[in-house]
């Protein structure tokens, strides 16, 4: 059982409780989960915990290797494993739309983390109070007093606290005062390339889905709930499932061959992610046209795996030109699926995309 604990400073306001409940109640993985509210629930950590802290954006192979290292340490010390993250991510709080495009929502992070041997995910609501907390105060209050961390593993460039004043050296100094062993995690590399969220983001921006999948350990995907659209696609004979994207910016844009998990099925299709400049252009949306699929799926959660980029978004001179291009995209997507051994390429990543 993985326990999700969400904390708004030292207490949780009624508003943040509702927000926290939304995250967990809409999160669908085959795993028993329990939501604890409030810092008082951590009195059980008398013997301590092993922990790590960070954004874990994308939960890529580097993150997964770090977690495996912690799993072994937790087993050796016979202590619970705690993963600490922030929502929103700190750079999103400070920079808003100028922050790097997020790879994964909280729900998507938890989906991947659910397959790891993590006992607790301790999620801080990043707000002004936390932003103004000095690094030493944060470490003492949360890491040592509250969680009683006995072993902490962080990256060498980890920074925290007001004005990012805290670093590994401060953690080591404070750790010695509270009997906590602070260790530095070495970079995880493939072919001498350091795996990082930034590298994955760059690969996605350039349409290099193979490199992104190699670093993630799975095809890149986005998950969301299917909303009612304007019905325009159905009028054109090209019905789409529309997913709202609650992100300041997108890690990828354009038209893609996709495979979607929805209603206990896996279905191929073609998707557009972006602002739809020809018909709207006001907000980001993910539209998916599923091949040979006719079920009503409004309100369902859909996970969309991006397999191959067909083209960038384009503002067409007319709606008729757009419709003609969409039909061409469908033909191109089906041709790609016929000509590639897509199932084999995905299975080599250790990802099971079978139905159900």
Say yes or no: 343 and 231 in one domain.
yes
Kindly state whether residue 41 falls inside one of the protein's structural domains: yes
Per-residue confidence in pLDDT tens, the chain, 356 aa: 666 666 654 333 333 333 333 333 333 333 333 344 445 555 557 899 999 999 999 999 999 999 999 999 999 999 999 999 888 999 999 998 899 999 999 889 988 988 888 888 888 888 999 999 999 999 999 899 988 999 999 998 899 999 999 999 999 999 999 999 999 998 888 888 889 999 999 999 999 999 999 999 999 999 999 998 777 777 788 999 999 887 878 999 999 999 999 988 999 999 999 988 788 767 889 999 999 998 888 889 999 999 999 999 999 989 999 999 999 999 999 999 998 754 444 443 334 444 33
Helices (H), the chain: 14-25, 61-77, 90-95, 106-113, 128-131, 135-138, 168-177, 197-205, 209-216, 232-235, 319-339, 342-347
How many structural domains is the chain composed of?
A: 2
Question: Is residue 201 assigned to a domain?
Answer: no
Which residue from 247, 233, 242 is spatially nearest to 304, judged by alpha carbons? 242
| 320 and 171 in a common domain | no
287 and 181 share one domain: no
DSSP 12-24: --HHHHHHHHHHH
- Identify the pLDDT of residue 12: 33
Is residue 127 domain-resident?
A: yes
Closest CA to 287 of 276, 297, 301, 295: 276
Residue 303: which of 252, 246, 353, 250 has the closest Cα? 353
Residue 20 Rama label (left phi>0; alpha psi -120 to 50; beta): alpha
328/184 same-domain check: no
Contacts of 14 (CB under 8 A, 6+ apart): none
CATH number of 322's domain: 2.40.30.30
CATH code (residue 142): 3.40.50.620
**Count of alpha carbons within 13 Å of 30, Cβ hemisphere only?**
2
> Is the residue at 152 inside a domain?
yes
Domain containing residue 333:
219-347
pLDDT on residue 24: 35
In the three-class reduction of DSSP (H, G, I as helix; E, B as strand; rest coil), residue 87 is classed as strand
Collapsed DSSP state (helix, strand, coil) of residue 182 = strand
The reply to whether 352 falls in a domain is: no
| CB of 59 closer than 8 Å to CB of 28 | no
pLDDT at 8: 57
69 and 153, same domain (yes or no): yes
Q: What is the pLDDT of residue 134?
A: 97
The answer on 238 and 324 residing in a single domain is yes
Per the rule left: phi > 0, alpha: psi between -120 and 50, beta: everything else, 331 is: alpha
Cα–Cα distances in angstroms (integers) from residue 232 to residues 271, 325, 328, in the given order: 15, 15, 18
Q: Which two tokens stand for residue 30?
A: 């085959």
Is the residue at 153 inside a domain?
yes
Q: Examine the domain organization and report whether 294 and 333 are in the same domain.
A: yes
8 with 116, same domain? yes
Q: Do residues 69 and 140 both lie within one domain?
A: yes
Q: Are residues 171 and 241 in the same domain?
A: no
């Amino acid at each position: 059982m993985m326990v999700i604990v969400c904390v708004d400073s030292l207490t949780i306001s009624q508003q943040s409780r509702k927000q926290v409940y939304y995250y967990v109640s809409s999160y669908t993985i085959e795993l028993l989960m329990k939501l604890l509210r409030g810092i008082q629930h951590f009195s059980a950590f008398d013997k301590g915990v092993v922990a790590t802290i960070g954004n874990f954006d994308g939960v890529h192979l580097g993150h997964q290797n770090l977690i495996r290292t912690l799993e072994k340490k937790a087993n050796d010390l016979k202590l619970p494993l705690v993963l600490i993250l922030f929502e929103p991510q700190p750079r999103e709080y400070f920079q808003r739309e100028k922050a790097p495009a997020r790879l994964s929502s909280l729900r998507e992070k938890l989906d991947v983390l659910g397959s790891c041997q993590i006992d607790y995910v301790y999620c801080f609501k990043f707000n002004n109070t936390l932003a103004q907390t000095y690094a030493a105060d944060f470490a003492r209050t949360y890491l040592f007093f509250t969680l009683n961390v006995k072993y902490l593993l962080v990256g060498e460039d980890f920074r925290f606290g007001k004005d990012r004043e805290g670093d590994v050296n401060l953690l080591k100094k404070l750790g010695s005062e509270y009997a906590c062993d602070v260790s530095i995690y070495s970079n995880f590399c493939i072919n001498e390339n350091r795996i990082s969220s930034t590298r994955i983001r760059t690969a996605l921006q350039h349409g290099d889905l193979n490199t992104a999948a190699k670093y993630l350990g799975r095809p890149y995907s986005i998950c969301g709930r299917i909303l009612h659209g304007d019905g325009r696609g159905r009028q054109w004979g090209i019905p789409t499932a529309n997913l709202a994207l609650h992100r300041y910016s997108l890690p990828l844009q354009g038209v893609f061959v996709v495979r979607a998990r929805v209603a206990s099925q896996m279905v191929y299709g073609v998707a557009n992610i972006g602002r739809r400049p020809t018909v709207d252009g006001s907000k980001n949306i993910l539209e998916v046209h599923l091949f040979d699929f006719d079920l009503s799926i409004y309100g369902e959660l859909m996970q969309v795996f991006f397999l191959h980029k067909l083209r960038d978004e384009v503002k067409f001179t007319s709606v008729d030109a757009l419709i003609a291009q969409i039909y061409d995209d469908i033909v191109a997507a089906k041709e790609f699926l016929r000509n590639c051994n897509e199932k084999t390429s995905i299975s080599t990543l250790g990802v099971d995309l079978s139905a159900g």
